[in-house]
Amino acid sequence: MPESGPDAHAPAAVFRVPRASTVDLIAVELRAAIHSGALVVGGPIGEVEIASQLGVSRSPLREAAQRLVQEGLLTSTPGRGLRVATIRPEDLRDLYDARVAIESQAIRLVVARANARDIAEIEAALSTLMTASEGTDARKIGDADIAFHHSMVIQAGNSRLERYFSGLAIETRIASFSMSDGYVVRRDVSPSYRAIVDAIAAGDSGAAIAALESQMSDAVARLSGEPAEHGADYDTVEEPLTNDPLSLEPLNGR
């Protein structure tokens, strides 16, 4: 017997894609402001100013800020409130060890996929880095460097690895901002970048990971000041840190 009634021919339920909440959007803006240096490393989080500029109340701002505390991008200290995190030289090894763990697995997955398009994307990211390094824009070089590593993680096709990497990428920028001589990046592109790409293309994950580990060790040494102590000579370019007034766009104006 056929079904009858008002719901007999009703379409199946459709799963709605959740929209980003106000807290989600504020968290995105805070992360971007930290990554760009608009929120200064070690500096306080001015709740009133930020809430006013974003056009939100302080309650969702505080909730978003607590997310970043959990991510290690902000710190909360009784009596001092919320501040942008700093990364000390003695913490650099932990940061870069975490990156090696994420990126090594990404390399294994990319090699296992053996997809020519994936490798071409990584190759293109290296080309962008090489081009940026011909100039003297420290921020552009630094962004291209992170984009190269991000490309490897993207091509791995694992959303969790990508999410973990995104947080580590911001911490990497914080580490650079935390150095006393300003934002300094290596201008000459290490041969390890080419070694990583060539090893991935050859299906040799072990060689690619070894090149990655060497690259990360060099980064820790440079950021902690070891090159000068050991006679290493890197061509670097510097961007002095500024204290420009914070400027954020209202969320409802986009």
The structural domains of the chain, with segments of one domain joined by +, span 22-86, 89-239
Q: Is the pLDDT of residue 137 over 60?
A: yes
Query: Into which CATH architecture does domain 22-86 fall?
Result: Orthogonal Bundle (1.10)
Q: What is the pLDDT of residues 123-136, one digit of tens each?
A: 999 999 999 999 99
What is the enclosing helix (H) or strand (E) of 194? helix 191-201
Mean pLDDT of 102-115: 97
Pairing of strands 183-186, 74-77: unpaired
pTM: 0.85
pLDDT of 17 over the 50 cut: no
Tell the CATH superfamily of the 89-239 domain. GntR ligand-binding domain-like (1.20.120.530)
> Please, which pLDDT band fits residue 233 given cuts at 50, 70 and 90?
low
Q: Identical fold at 22-86 and 89-239? A: no
- Tell me the backbone φ, ψ of residue 197, rounded to 5 degrees: -65, -45
In whole angstroms, how far apart are CA 78 and each of 43, 64, 82, 83, 85? 15, 18, 9, 11, 15
Average pLDDT, the chain: 89
Amino acid type, 246: L
